[in-house]
């Protein structure tokens, strides 16, 4: 058997070795929160997400709680007793002819009784405790992967909020420049006051929208700081959305990988093993308890030994047979329920993988549509409408409509890219992978295997 290391913990980890048993291993203390450089823009890449995930692993109180429960379960395995504590007893006899009885039988007695570890009961309890430990290990892994997914989603939301602010700032510059041109046209008699007032309203509305967008960006940073266990007002750099990701191919290999390594499904399979251990433990509890004892009698007047008794005791599981059968049936029913839940979860995972690949493909196609077709056409339409309006051959409303289409197209493109990467993060969790790069490698292998 090999040595297995389970679960990093705040200050300690737990390991099991067949030679040395369970042990608590000291680890470095919690690292301090790192302040990012807020003077530069940072591309949101899988490498950056991995770096922040390691900080999350170190600083998250939720993970600390999960690892502490894992340590507690490991110590519970080490705490399973093979031998029960022996029972010591002693006493003094009072009788009418005490002197005679003291001489014949002894009036002071003492003894010890020991319960015997028979029927494999301690081993069954140890298997049960070890199964509970494996459930906690799988639960701590599930907690980390879930928090890592939440962190990735929050990072992409923050990048989208930042992109919204950038688009709004560029729109503010355009509105101010166009307002100046409209005012010059109005003063020269080539334009109308309606155009100036309309642009002033658009500018005021955009300023208010920018205030809201900046507040939403700060809220996204607060959410990130909560996940990273940093102070709520810790600054963040400007996060830049990644480019459109490559397509993800739905295949039987992908669903098979998810069925084997999806973290919640792995925990549920460990719960099935724990239920099987619980059934075995319930079956062994119906066997009688056996103990052996020794009693010795002495004469209290001179301390001389008089007699020794050796006794064998055992319980009679007669009156509780129905209860024992009910306990076994109850634990077996729990085992069957756990197995059915695993089967249902496997179907749900397959469905989720298919649904995520469909959403990822839809978001990718939408992002490419806006990037390659709609945004270039909208920019061309705005430039044409503005040029026609400035030359006096076009309508001012066409300029505003072209501007609205361009702003909406850029926002929709950013949202589509964000949605694609968020769905990819969901797929990483569903497949139980280490990061987005591992998903890319798995997808490349699937594509390479296709004829």
Sheet containing 305-314: give its strands across.
87-92, 108-115, 290-298, 305-314
Query: Which of 92-96, 290-294, 346-350 tops mean pLDDT?
Result: 346-350
**279-333, pLDDT tens digit by residue?**
988 888 888 888 888 888 877 767 777 778 888 887 788 888 888 889 889 989 9
Average pLDDT score over residue span 122-146: 91
User: What band does 183 get if pLDDT is binned at 50, 70 and 90?
Assistant: very high
- The answer to whether 12 touches 28, Cβ cutoff 8 Å, is no
pLDDT > 80? residue 434: no
pLDDT > 50? residue 9: no
Q: What are phi and psi of 32, to 5 degrees?
A: -75, 155
pLDDT > 80? residue 450: no
pLDDT at 320: 83
Q: Does residue 17 lie in a domain region?
A: no
- The answer to whether 329 touches 389, Cβ cutoff 8 Å, is no
State how many domains the chain has: 1
Taking the CA atoms of 76, 77, 79 and 81 in sequence, report the sign of the dihedral they define.
Answer: positive
pLDDT at 261: 85
Helix (H) or strand (E) holding 430: helix 396-431
Report DSSP state, residue 242: P
DSSP characters for 119-135?
TTHHHHHHHHHHHHHHH
Find the domain containing 215 and state its range. Answer: 35-81+123-286+321-449
Q: Give the burial string for 277-301 (b: 16+ CB within 10 Å, else e).
A: bbbbbbbebeeebebebebbbbbee
Q: Does residue 315 lie in a domain region?
A: no
- The answer to whether 94 touches 69, Cβ cutoff 8 Å, is no
This prediction's pTM: 0.80
Taking the CA atoms of 202, 206, 209 and 211 in sequence, report the sign of the dihedral they define.
Answer: negative
d(CA 386, CA 394): 8
pLDDT at 95: 65
Maximum CA extent, the chain: 138
**16-44, pLDDT tens digit by residue?**
333 323 333 333 333 333 444 555 789 99
pLDDT at 368: 96
Report DSSP state, residue 32: P
Q: Does residue 105 lie in a domain region?
A: no
User: What band does 99 get if pLDDT is binned at 50, 70 and 90?
Assistant: low
Q: Does residue 48 lie in a domain region?
A: yes
Least confident of 185-194, 251-260, 341-350, 389-398: 251-260
**382-411, pLDDT tens digit by residue?**
999 999 998 888 899 999 999 999 999 999
**270-281, pLDDT tens digit by residue?**
999 999 999 988
pLDDT > 70? residue 350: yes
Q: Does residue 309 lie in a domain region?
A: no
pLDDT at 39: 56
Q: Does residue 88 lie in a domain region?
A: no
pLDDT at 374: 96
57 versus 444: the higher-pLDDT residue is 57
pLDDT at 444: 64
Least confident of 97-101, 177-181, 280-284: 97-101
pLDDT > 90? residue 447: no
Q: In terms of Cα–Cα distance, which of 137, 338, 337, 354 is closest to 256?
A: 354
pLDDT at 101: 62
**30-81, pLDDT tens digit by residue?**
333 344 455 578 999 888 998 999 999 999 999 999 999 999 999 988 888 8
- The answer to whether 435 touches 365, Cβ cutoff 8 Å, is no
Q: Does residue 107 lie in a domain region?
A: no
CA 154 to chain centre: 14
pLDDT at 103: 63
Question: CATH number, domain at 239?
Answer: 1.20.1600.10
Average pLDDT, the chain: 83
pLDDT at 38: 52
- C-alpha count within 13 angstroms, C-beta hemisphere, residue 442: 23
**404-430, pLDDT tens digit by residue?**
999 999 999 999 999 999 999 888 888
Taking the CA atoms of 48, 49, 50 and 55 in sequence, report the sign of the dihedral they define.
Answer: positive
Report DSSP state, residue 246: P
Paired strand residues for 6? 14
Q: Does residue 307 lie in a domain region?
A: no
């Amino acid at each position: 058997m090999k040595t297995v290391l389970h679960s990093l913990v705040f200050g300690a980890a737990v390991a099991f070795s067949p030679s040395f048993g369970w042990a608590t291993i000291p680890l470095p203390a919690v690292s301090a929160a790192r302040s990012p450089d807020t003077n530069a823009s940072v591309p949101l890449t899988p490498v950056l997400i991995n770096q922040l995930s390691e900080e999350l692993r170190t600083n998250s109180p939720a993970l600390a709680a999960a690892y502490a429960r894992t340590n507690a379960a490991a110590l519970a395995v080490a705490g399973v007793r093979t031998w029960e504590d022996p029972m010591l007893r002693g006493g003094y006899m009072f009788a009418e002819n005490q002197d005679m009885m003291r001489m014949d039988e002894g009036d002071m007695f003492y003894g010890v009784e020991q319960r015997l570890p028979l029927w494999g009961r301690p081993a069954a309890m140890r298997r049960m405790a070890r199964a509970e430990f494996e459930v906690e290990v799988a639960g701590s892994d599930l907690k980390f992967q879930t928090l890592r997914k939440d962190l990735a989603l929050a990072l992409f939301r923050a990048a989208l909020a930042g992109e919204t602010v950038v688009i709004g700032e560029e729109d503010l510059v355009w509105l101010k420049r166009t307002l100046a041109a409209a005012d010059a046209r109005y003063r020269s008699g080539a334009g109308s006051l309606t155009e100036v007032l309309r642009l002033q309203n658009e500018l005021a509305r955009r300023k208010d929208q920018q205030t809201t967008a900046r507040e939403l960006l700060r809220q996204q940073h607060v959410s990130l700081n909560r996940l990273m266990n940093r102070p709520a007002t810790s600054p963040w750099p400007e996060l830049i959305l990644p480019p459109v990701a490559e397509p993800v191919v739905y295949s039987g290999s992908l669903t098979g990988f998810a069925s084997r390594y999806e973290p919640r499904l792995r925990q549920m399979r460990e719960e099935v093993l724990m239920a099987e251990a619980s059934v075995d433990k319930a079956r062994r509890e119906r066997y009688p308890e056996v103990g052996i004892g020794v009693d010795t009698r002495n004469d209290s007047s001179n301390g001389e030994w008089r007699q020794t008794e050796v006794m064998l005791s055992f319980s009679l599981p007669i009156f509780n047979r129905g209860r024992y059968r009910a306990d076994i049936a109850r634990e077996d029913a729990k085992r069957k329920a756990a197995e059915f839940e695993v089967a249902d979860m496997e179907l749900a995972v397959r469905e989720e993988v298919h649904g995520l690949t469909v959403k990822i493909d839809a978001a990718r196609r939408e992002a490419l549509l806006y990037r390659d077709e709609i945004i270039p056409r909208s920019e061309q339409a705005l430039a044409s409408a503005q040029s026609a309006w400035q030359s006096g051959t076009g309508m001012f409303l066409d300029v505003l409509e072209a501007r609205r289409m361009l702003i909406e197209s850029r926002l929709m493109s950013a949202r589509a890219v964000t949605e694609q990467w968020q769905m990819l993060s969901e797929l990483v969790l569903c497949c139980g992978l280490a990061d987005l790069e591992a998903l890319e490698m798995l997808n490349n292998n699937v594509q390479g295997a296709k004829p």
